[in-house]
Amino acid sequence: MSFGEFLKKLRAEKGLSQRQLADLSKISNTEISRMESGERQKPSPKILKEIAPHLGISYRELMAQAGYIEETIEHEKYTEHIFRSDDGEFADTIRMAKNIHKKDSELLTIMNRASDELPKEDIKAIKEFVNFYLNKNKDR
């Protein structure tokens, strides 16, 4: 079953028209139609995140159904889930960067400078430091 057929089936099971799903998820009716018809083969993660709750399916399940490859990274006290497209690129990179920027734009600027100006060993040390605090605060 193609992603478009899967999407159409989910929408029908929820008793929603394309317009109703579009209104609920605040995306265009045309975009819903393109996804269902197969014209839009691989919708963006942002769109999938918007429609998932209204279809009664998790974002992770919808991303997998759309063909994104889920990668699970086990950390000491938490698990991170990321998605990649067929070419190996991170699918959620822009969404994650916008999320960081919204919460603390200075942090994003610092991270960008660090990735441009610091050697790999220093970046590795910074990641270990941040992971230490993430794991430490997980117990609270």
Q: Which of 14-18, 85-89, 131-135 has the highest mean pLDDT?
A: 14-18
Closest by CA to 59, choosing from 43, 69, 74, 45, is 45
Q: Is 88 exposed, middle or buried (0-12, 13-18, 19+ CB in 10 A)?
A: exposed
Whether residue 110 sits in one domain with residue 64: no
Number of domains composing the chain = 2
**Residue 43 domain-assigned (yes or no):** yes
The per-residue pLDDT for range 91-126, each reduced to its tens digit, is 777 777 888 888 888 988 888 889 889 899 999 999
Q: At what angle do helices 3-13 and 45-55 cross, to 10 degrees?
A: 30
pTM confidence score = 0.61
What domain range is 137 assigned to?
A: 104-140
Can you give the pLDDT at residue 139?
A: 61
Judged on CB neighbours under 10 Å (0-12, 13-18, 19+), 39 is exposed
Q: Is pLDDT of 88 > 80? A: no
pLDDT band for 89, please (50, 70, 90 cuts): confident
In this structure, the answer to whether residues 108 and 57 fall within a common structural domain is no
* Domain limit, last residue, from 69, 90, 120: 69
Confidence of residue 68 (pLDDT cuts 50, 70, 90): confident
* pLDDT interval class at 57 (50, 70, 90): very high
Residues 60 and 64: their CA atoms lie apart, in Å, by: 6
CA distance 72 to 20: 34
In a domain, 7, yes or no: yes
Residue 61 shares a structural domain with residue 13: yes
Per the structure block, which two tokens stand in for 65? Answer: 């159904």
Residue at 92 is within a domain: no
The answer to whether residue 99 is domain-embedded is no
